Amino acid sequence: MTPAAPNNAELLARSHSAVWHPCSQMKHYETFPLLPIARGKGVWLYDYDGDRYLDAVSSWWVNLFGHSNPAINAALVSQLETLEHVMLAGFTHEPVVRLSERLRELAPPGLGHCSYASDGASAIEIALKMSAHFWRNTGHPHKTQFISLQNSYHGETLGALSVTDVALFRDAYSALIRSQATVMSPDSRHAAAGETAEDYALRCAEVLESHLQHHHAQLAAFIIEPLVQGAAGMAMYHPVYLRRARELCRQYAVHLIADEIAVGMGRTGTLFACEQAGITPDFLCLSKGITGGYLPLSVVMTTDEIYQAFYTDETTRGFLHSHSYTGNPLACRAALATLDIFAQDDVLSQNRQKAAYLNSIAQPLREHRAVKNWRNTGMIWAFEVDSPHHDFAQRCFSLALQNELLLRPIANTVYFMPPYVIGEPEMDHLVQRTLHLVEQLCQQPQSKT
């Protein structure tokens, strides 16, 4: 006997009782119910009642080429019939070898060694541990501290949280975290009146320089989200900051860790954001879009210099870190299929045309009286909305759903981070419905009479 097909109401009730959802106060789902998704196709998600939603946030910034992408599906089916998984300690397999070789060809020069984990936060743990262990192996055991930017986000495991500067995620766990310093963010929204984004970035680099001068002897690494600080509310900054950070870190013998978990894989207009500053970091962390949004996988790429510091006969000088699913073949195969799409479809230049189209139709939105700080880098757009509502983010999310849109504002910052397969009619839908939403959300609440 087949059970009856579930509907929205039934599934959300069952989920509320059995599933503890991430990044949520479960009680709030009493007022703002969960949305059960039955299937996805391209930029659209469909619920069990047949309603559709344009996935304008790429399902938490992971999806690149649409839901249920035929090419990635086919690659996964063929991999399923070959090898679903094998441990990577003592064993190897073709998908992980090919992926590592291709990433080495594509990444900024010098990043020839790939180590794998299953999610973004674990990649950050690897980079932090590897950096400190490098200094230990090379006779600098005091270099164990890290710095990050103000409002940085690098994940929520305890190590990653120590370099994450988002009070909401940190405060409850602060007793468990080793506290690390932050330096002024080059977020161009904070430039002084009349100061260019570039001048502001250079001013922030001076603050970094002074911090490095004073603390380099204890510092292992400076970790940064290149070009866009995502969870800070899509804070964008000038690439000159990355160039200066690269020079200064080299000068003071501090590693530079580029966290491209959100901004890598073409999101900022180049395959990797670091390319726009012409730099090679000591560590490059990738996850999210690397599998096209299909399966959990992350990778930390690093240099020969770092690799060689671990390459000896002693086990304890080796890098001691593993996850059960390290380098999972299915996930690697999804990543290879994703890289194939980049190569075959000239994605980066197509994205430039799409971005130009979206910017052209967005004129009425960016000029709306309630819209502030309109900004765009590659396939990311963001703006703040001047709204009288304290619960702006939740209200906007709910209203967006009624308008066939999946938007997830960060405080009063609305952003678009759509899958790259978005077409012109879908961009029209996104921009027109968002304009309608903004209009509703900037109205004074009706006084109750």
| Positions in the binding site for ligand PLP (CB under 6 A) | 119-121, 124, 153-155, 225, 230, 259, 261-262, 287-288
| Residue 296 Cβ vs ligand PLP, minimum distance, rounded to whole Å | 7
Residue 339 in 3-state DSSP? helix
Ramachandran class of 124: left when φ > 0, alpha when ψ lies in -120 to 50, beta otherwise:
alpha
* Closer Cβ to ligand PLP, 9 or 158, answer by number: 158
- Backbone φ and ψ for 138, nearest 5 degrees, come out as -105, 20
Which residue lies nearer to ligand PLP by CB, 54 or 262?
262
Taking the complex as a whole, the smallest distance from the CB of residue 235 to ligand PLP amounts, in Å, to 12
Q: Which is nearer to ligand PLP, 40 or 120 (CB)?
A: 120
Q: Name the E strands within 184-326.
A: 219-224, 228-229, 235-236, 255-259, 283-286, 298-302
What torsion do the CA atoms of 412, 418, 422, 425 make, to the nearest 10 degrees? -10
Q: In this complex, which beta carbon is closest to ligand PLP, that of residue 259 or of residue 282?
A: 259
Tokens of 259: 């966290």
Nearer to ligand PLP, 45 or 299 (CB): 299
| Cα 100 from Cα 85, distance rounded (Å) | 17
Closest approach of ligand PLP to the CB of residue 159, in Å? 11
Please report how close the Cβ of residue 230 comes to ligand PLP at its closest, in angstroms: 5
What b/e sequence results for 342-358 when a residue is b if at least 16 CB atoms lie within 10 Å of its CB, and e otherwise?
Answer: beeeebeeebeebbebb
Q: How far is the CB of 396 from ligand PLP (least distance, A)?
A: 21
Of residues 123, 202, 134, 201, the one with CA closest to residue 163: 123
Closest CA to 415 of 232, 225, 147: 232
- Please identify, using beta-carbon distances, which residue of 97 and 411 lies nearer to ligand PLP: 411
Query: Under a CB-based contact definition with an 8 Å cutoff, are residues 417 and 58 in contact?
Result: yes
Least distance CB 255 / ligand PLP (angstroms): 17
C-alpha distances out from residue 48 to 42, 52, 180, Å: 17, 10, 46
Q: Which residue is nearest to ligand PLP (CB)?
A: 120
The nearer residue to ligand PLP, 12 or 273, going by C-beta atoms, is: 273
Measured from the CB atom, the residue of 379 and 431 that comes closer to ligand PLP is 379
Closest separation between CB of residue 306 and ligand PLP, Å?
Answer: 20
CB 272 within 8 A of CB 99: no
Beta strands (DSSP E) in 105-245 are 113-117, 145-149, 181-183, 219-224, 228-229, 235-236
Overall size of the chain counted in residues: 449
Q: At closest approach, how far in Å is the CB of 14 from ligand PLP?
A: 25
